[in-house]
Amino acid sequence: MNTFKAYCEAFVEYLQIEKNASPYTVKYYVKDLENFFDFLNAEGVAGLEQVDTKVVRVYLTNLHDHKLSRRTVSRKISSLRSFYKFLEREDYVKTNPFLQIKLPKASKPIPGFLFQEELKKLFEVSDLTDPLGQRDQAILETFYATGLRVSECQGLRLKDIDFSVGTMFIKGKGNKERYIPFGRFAEIALETYIHDGRNRLLQKCRDTPDYVFLNAKGKPLTARGMRLVLNKMVERAALTVHVHPHKLRHTFATHLLNEGADLRGVQELLGHENLSATQIYTHVTKDRLRSVYMNSHPRASGHNSVQRGDHRGE
């Protein structure tokens, strides 16, 4: 069983070097592996090569007994499938016992988003004469204009923004690169902050970081710091909704689709590898389209005499 640790370390190295996995992703892989190793120890399974479909079924029963969500179970199976695929490639094991295991279908919640009225209040709360107020406005405009993930926004550097053509160069998950356009409002907010507020914040720090968004001490703002910025803006706007970076990403996608944007185009802007990840937003837009149809189409309901066919005598 001492080899478990060695296998885990080799797998982590593979994730970091070959897969460019984020620390967050690696953390959950390791957590899932440690959980599986504990199970094997408890069941008296001496080595990873002894794991077969029978052992896997007992493990799945164990997960079910702990009343884990389908999403969590699915993630654990996926983690172990990838782990055994790596072991098989390295000739540590002969077969992958998780290969034939079907992932439980997790129900996908419809993503929450902000309405225009709520956004309007957020855009009006920052003091644009203050360096931090300029920064907060630029963060909000950037999230809404681009649909960036919080890690992408936090990692944004000055050289990544091309004001001449209005685009940002983004390195997303797995170091996948994409260009995202941004509009006039984001341009004004970013230029104001970069040429004024950011320079004032830099005076408080000996270093000269090239990250776009800085904290009150002139150092790079963390992802946690960005979440706190949004929380404070919500408080000042006296909103009762919970706002986080991913909700602004949802809002970006939903508003684009509501205005007729192509699903493939939104997929590229969001940096989704698979279209299925983007299609979840169509649930929201379908509800809106149905509402528009029911309220606008002459024959959608029975409230209008024309809709009821009161021209029978013609």
Contact (Cβ atoms closer than 8 angstroms) between residue 180 and residue 156: no
Helices 70-89 & 3-17 angle (0-180, nearest 10): 90
How far apart are the C-alpha atoms of 14 and 21, rounded to whole Å?
A: 9
Catalytic member of 272, 290, 303, 312? 272
To the query of whether residue 176 is one of the catalytic residues in this protein, the response is no
Catalytic member of 135, 249, 250, 255? 249
To the query of whether residue 173 is one of the catalytic residues in this protein, the response is yes
Catalytic member of 81, 157, 173, 219? 173
What SS3 state is found at 247? helix
Catalytic member of 135, 149, 198, 255? 149
To the query of whether residue 272 is one of the catalytic residues in this protein, the response is yes
User: Which one, of 66, 11, 16, 14, lies nearest residue 38 by Cα?
Assistant: 66
Catalytic member of 178, 200, 244, 246? 246
Residue 92, burial from CB neighbour count under 10 angstroms (0-12, 13-18, 19+): middle
To the query of whether residue 59 is one of the catalytic residues in this protein, the response is no
What SS3 state is found at 125? coil
How far apart are the C-alpha atoms of 52 and 44, rounded to whole Å?
A: 14
To the query of whether residue 84 is one of the catalytic residues in this protein, the response is no
Catalytic center residues: 149, 173, 246, 249, 272, 281
